A = this chain, B = another copy of it.
C-alpha cells in the first residue's frame, strides 16, 4: 500500500479549514509556563548513568536456594543440544540482556540461550526443570514491569532466533508465525497483503509477538480491534517439563474444551514458553485519518470521547490523550518534535480507519463541528499526509522515551472508570508538590491511564509517597493496578489490590499445576509468599503434569 492511499495528500475539508473552524483556542492556565521554569529545567542535566539500577536488593529479595547454580556441565549440555553459537556467555551481550528497557531492573545471569525452534526450547526446559535451573523467557525486552530480565542468575531463554512467518491466509486474514517475530515486521509483511496487525504500540520496532501475547499487550488499536484474547486464535507452547502443547488452531471459532491458550495470554512467562502464535488480522482499510486536538480540561476530553463513540462509531480506531506536562516533556527531550497546536491543557489524538474516504471525512467533519459547537474542543488539526501523521504519533509514542531521558521514572499503568481517571494525576501532583513531575497520558478510549512520575534520580522519599498510595487509591476506585503492562517483578506482591484472595489462590494453584518446580520466571507475577508455598506443595506431590 502506498503512502498516498493511507493519508490523503491534500485534505481540503480538514486541515486548512479546520484551522479556520477550530479557532476558539483560549488563553491557557499557567500549567505550561510553570513546567518550563521548574522541574523540566532541573531534570535536564541528568545523565542516564545516574539512574538507579534496581537490583534485587531494592525488593529485599533473596535468591531461592532450592534452585541449582549453573555448572560447567550445564553449559556443555546446552552446547551439545543447541550448538556453540546459541549458547551465549559474552559479557557485553549478557549485560544488555540482564537490564530492562527502563534500566531499572538488573539481574546477573551468566547465560543466554537462543533456541532456533520449538524442539530446542523443549530440550532446554526439560533439562532446566530436571536440574532445578530457574529460567526467564525474554522477547524484545521492552516490558515495563521488570518481567523480562533475571532477578538473580536465572538462565535467559531468548526467542529472538525464532522469527519465521509460517503462513498467512489472505481469505481469512489468519497469520501464523514464530514467537520471536518483531511486531513491526509482521505489520509490514501484512501491509503488502492488504492486512494489518490488530495491535500497535510504541515499542513495535523491538517487541516480539510472543512478548506481546505473554503480556496481553493492549496498545493503540485496542479501542477498535479489541483484546488479544479475542484475536489470538492459537498458540504453541512448551511447558516447564518440556512437553510441547500444540494449540495452534487457525479457526475463528472453536469450542472444544477449555481455552487453555488463554492461560498463556498474559501469563508473563510464568507457565512456559510461547513458541508459535496464530492471530486474526483485520483488513487494512483504505482510508485512515488522524486528528490532533486540544481540550481545555479533562471533562472536555471525556465528553469528546462520548462524542467520538457516537459520531465516529464504527470508524474510530484510536483515542489517545496526553496532558500538557507530557507534551512539555516530549518537546524538551526529543529532537525534532513540535506541537502542531498552540499550548493547551490536554491533547487528544483521534484516528479513524474506514473503507470509504469521503464517508469518513464527512463523519469527522460532523464530529468536529458538533464538538466545537458544544465547546468541548478548543483547537485541532488533521494530518495532511503520512509524514505529518507520523509526527503526531511521535508526540504520543515519544513520551516513554522522553521520560527515560529526563531521569528516573515511576511508571503506573492503571485502568480506571473514565470519570475518575484523571483525579489520581491531580491528587498525586498535590501529594508530591515540587519534588516530582507528574504526567498523565494514555489510552483514554479504553479507560487506561499511564501515570508517570519523573524525578531527577530515584528517591526513596518520593517512592514512599507514591506507593502504596497509588495502589490503594486505584483499588478504592475499582480500578486495576495493571491495565496492560502486567505484574512482573514490580507488582507481583500487589495483585491483591485488584484481585480477590480466592482468585489469587486459584492462580497459585494453576502455577503449581503447570510449573511444580517453580522454575519459570521466579519471584514474579504472583505474591512471593504463595509461590514458595506452592513450590513446597509441589515437591510433596511430585510433578502433576
Min CB distance A73 to B, Å, is: 29
Q: How far is the CA of A218 from the CA of B443 in the complex (A)?
A: 28
A483 at the interface (CB under 8 A from B): yes
* A283→B310 contact, CB < 8 A: yes
* A503→B246 contact, CB < 8 A: yes
Partner of A256, one of B263, B447, B480: B480
Min CB distance A414 to B, Å, is: 10
Q: How far is the CA of A262 from the CA of B447 in the complex (A)?
A: 21
A254 at the interface (CB under 8 A from B): yes
A166 at the interface (CB under 8 A from B): no
* B363→A255 contact, CB < 8 A: no
Q: How far is the CA of A302 from the CA of B253 in the complex (A)?
A: 18
* A487→B255 contact, CB < 8 A: yes
Min CB distance A510 to B, Å, is: 6
* B255→A259 contact, CB < 8 A: no
Residues of B within 8 A of A311 (CB): 355
User: Which residues 312-328 of A have a CB within 8 angstroms of B?
Assistant: 312-315
A12 at the interface (CB under 8 A from B): no
A59 at the interface (CB under 8 A from B): no
A506 at the interface (CB under 8 A from B): yes
Partner of A448, one of B253, B265, B315, B478: B253
Residues of B within 8 A of A226 (CB): 226, 230
A356 at the interface (CB under 8 A from B): yes
A65 at the interface (CB under 8 A from B): no
Q: How far is the CA of A285 from the CA of B363 in the complex (A)?
A: 14
Residues of B within 8 A of A491 (CB): 256
User: Which residues 222-256 of A have a CB within 8 angstroms of B?
Assistant: 222, 226-227, 229-231, 243-247, 249-256
Write the chain B residue with the least CB distance to A443. B253
User: Which residues 466-525 of A have a CB within 8 angstroms of B?
Assistant: 478-487, 491, 495, 498-500, 502-507, 509-510, 513, 525
A-B contacts, 8 of them at CB < 8 A, read: A216-B255, A244-B502, A252-B415, A252-B447, A253-B483, A260-B503, A356-B363, A509-B544
A208 at the interface (CB under 8 A from B): no
A306 at the interface (CB under 8 A from B): yes
Min CB distance A501 to B, Å, is: 10
Q: How far is the CA of A339 from the CA of B499 in the complex (A)?
A: 53
Partner of A171, one of B419, B480, B487, B506: B419
A433 at the interface (CB under 8 A from B): no
| 0/1 string, A273-317, CB within 8 A of B gives 1 | 000000000010100000000000000001000100111111100
A142 at the interface (CB under 8 A from B): no
Min CB distance A361 to B, Å, is: 11
* B285→A545 contact, CB < 8 A: no
Partner of A503, one of B247, B266, B415, B417: B247
* A256→B481 contact, CB < 8 A: yes
A484 with B257, Cβ < 8 A, contacts A247-B503, A419-B171, A513-B510 known = no
Complex A-B, nearest 9 residue pairs according to Cβ-Cβ distance, in ascending order: A230-B230, A313-B355, A262-B262, A254-B480, A314-B314, A253-B483, A256-B498, A251-B415, A359-B359
User: Which residues 103-159 of A have a CB within 8 angstroms of B?
Assistant: none
Residues of B within 8 A of A505 (CB): 545
A82 at the interface (CB under 8 A from B): no
* A506→B310 contact, CB < 8 A: no
Q: How far is the CA of A509 from the CA of B256 in the complex (A)?
A: 16
A541 at the interface (CB under 8 A from B): yes
Q: How far is the CA of A267 from the CA of B263 in the complex (A)?
A: 14
* A245→B363 contact, CB < 8 A: no
Residues of B within 8 A of A283 (CB): 309-310, 313
A8 at the interface (CB under 8 A from B): no
A64 at the interface (CB under 8 A from B): no
Min CB distance A495 to B, Å, is: 5
* A172→B418 contact, CB < 8 A: yes
Write the chain B residue with the least CB distance to A356. B363
Write the chain B residue with the least CB distance to A419. B171
Residues of B within 8 A of A356 (CB): 313, 359, 362-363
Write the chain B residue with the least CB distance to A173. B309
Partner of A485, one of B255, B315, B485, B545: B255
Residues of B within 8 A of A484 (CB): 253, 255
A256 with B487, Cβ < 8 A, contacts A245-B506, A246-B500, A306-B171 known = yes
* A252→B541 contact, CB < 8 A: no
| 0/1 string, A360-392, CB within 8 A of B gives 1 | 001100000000000000000000000000000
* B415→A507 contact, CB < 8 A: no
A344 at the interface (CB under 8 A from B): no
Residues of B within 8 A of A446 (CB): 252-253
* B447→A257 contact, CB < 8 A: no
* A258→B263 contact, CB < 8 A: yes
Min CB distance A301 to B, Å, is: 13
Q: How far is the CA of A525 from the CA of B256 in the complex (A)?
A: 8
* A545→B172 contact, CB < 8 A: no
